[in-house]
Amino acid sequence: MSRTGRSSLLLSLLVSAIVFSPLIQAENIDEYGENIEHEIIIISEHHHQNDAFTQGLELYNGSIYESTGLYGFSTLREVDPLTGDVIRSKSFNDTIFSEGITVFNDTIVMLTWKSQIAFVFEMENLSQVSSYEYEGEGWGICFDGESFVMSNGTSSVSFRNTETFEIERMVSVTDSFGNLITKINELECVNTPAGPRVIANVWQQDIIVVFDPSNGTVVGEYDASQLSSENNHGINNVLNGIAHSTGSEFWITGKNWSKMYLIQMTNLSQAGEDICVSSCDLGQDSISSGTGFVTITVLFVGILLIFFGRNDMPVGGNDVETGNRHDEQPNPTPQSQEDGVILDD
């Protein structure tokens, strides 16, 4: 084939890619546009004590119960949700790092980060009445009506016996593509028309995920970055704390935030499709997506360029700039925040 013929063929291929890829992309946009929208709607804003390094949040008989963390500063407190005033508070010694809490039979069960003890307090006077022991770290906890549901900072969530605290079963939290979602933190168990759901914060991310406790699959993802942007004045002041109010309404706040919000989570009982949380794109599952089509077209054209153009390469090609930069490596991954001064979950 002549040089002119090869040029015409390549030009035709490129024109085809340009013409048809937007149509395929538009088709995919329409497809994903039909997905269920999960949004956070702010109902009201309220004061929150900004000295509270929030670890757990529960609503019970009109009061918010909140656990706050850090060694030497951990507390369990009752708070007026409308004013943010602390009604009463229980402090712990500097060996305790308080974690998530849940209400169970007129008591409050509170995890600890590394002490491997869950304390049980009477609701009436916040006095300790018993405790449980467990292995590993404690992060978030909720009661689903049958079992304690507990996170440990990984993607694994355990379901524990309410009498012995022994693990009865476990699930891994994953998105629609099977990607593990790590750093599952504060939990809230709710019942919806579609069945039981667990709502979770993801540590150091401005998202709230909703997963099916039967298999760990995420069925909803809510963007809370708007709220975080109003309160997050440091790498440790992250979104954390979910308390179910009624229906699809929840109280949420964060570590050292100055505000607590009553919000509505739309379409809570409806599952979204193709939810991707772990650094992937909408077209991950489909080679026929717009991105996949363009990628394949570019690769195909590149192969044709190499095939048809190889006879045009002069002898002594080592002196010719090929554009191949095999010596050029990606920039090293930035040092993670964990290597800096970051307070644990």
How confident is the model over 227-271, as pLDDT tens digits?
988 886 677 889 999 999 999 999 999 999 999 999 999 988 777
Q: Is the pLDDT of residue 308 over 80?
A: no
Q: Which of 68-82, 159-173, 327-341 has the lowest mean pLDDT?
A: 327-341
Report pLDDT for 180: 94
Cα angle 156, 159, 163 (rounded to 5 degrees) comes to 145
pLDDT band at 285; cut points 50, 70, 90: very low
pLDDT band at 28; cut points 50, 70, 90: very low
84: left (phi over 0), alpha (psi -120 to 50) or beta: left
Residue 180 pairs in a beta bridge with 174
Domains of the chain by residue range: 1-35+278-309, 40-265
Q: Is the pLDDT of residue 274 over 60?
A: no
More confident residue, 35 or 95: 95
Mean pLDDT of the region 140-167? 97
Report pLDDT for 275: 60
Report pLDDT for 268: 82
Report pLDDT for 158: 98
CATH of segment(s) 40-265: 2.130.10.10
More confident residue, 335 or 78: 78
pLDDT band at 300; cut points 50, 70, 90: low
Report pLDDT for 272: 61
Distances (CA, A) of 342 to 67, 117, 235: 19, 24, 7
Q: Is the pLDDT of residue 290 over 60?
A: no
Do 204 and 181 contact (CB within 8 A), yes or no?
Answer: no
Kindly give the pairing relationship between strand 148-151 and strand 54-60. unpaired
Q: What is the DSSP letter of 332?
A: P
Mean pLDDT of the chain: 78
Q: Which of 172-176, 190-194, 299-303 has the lowest mean pLDDT?
A: 299-303
d(CA 134, CA 167): 9
Q: Is the pLDDT of residue 61 over 80?
A: yes
What are the two backbone dihedrals, phi and then psi, of residue 322, each rounded to the nearest 5 degrees?
A: -100, -15
Block residue for tokens 């708007």: 226
Report pLDDT for 273: 57
Q: List own/partner pairs for 208-214 with CB under 8 A and 24 or more apart.
A: 208/40, 208/239, 208/242, 208/252, 208/265, 209/173, 209/181, 209/277, 210/38, 210/265, 210/268, 211/173, 213/144, 213/149, 213/157, 213/159, 213/171, 213/189, 214/171
Helix, coil or strand: residue 13: helix
d(CA 209, CA 228): 15
**What residue type is assigned to position 226 of the chain?**
Q
Q: Is the pLDDT of residue 75 over 50?
A: yes
pLDDT band at 16; cut points 50, 70, 90: low
Q: Is the pLDDT of residue 80 over 80?
A: yes
Helix, coil or strand: residue 300: helix
Angle between helices 290-309 and 3-33 (to 10 degrees): 170
Mean pLDDT of the region 32-37? 54
The model's pTM: 0.72
Mean pLDDT of the region 261-284? 70
More confident residue, 262 or 325: 262
More confident residue, 199 or 276: 199
Residue of 90, 184, 105 whose CA lies nearest to 137: 184
Report pLDDT for 36: 66
Report pLDDT for 176: 85
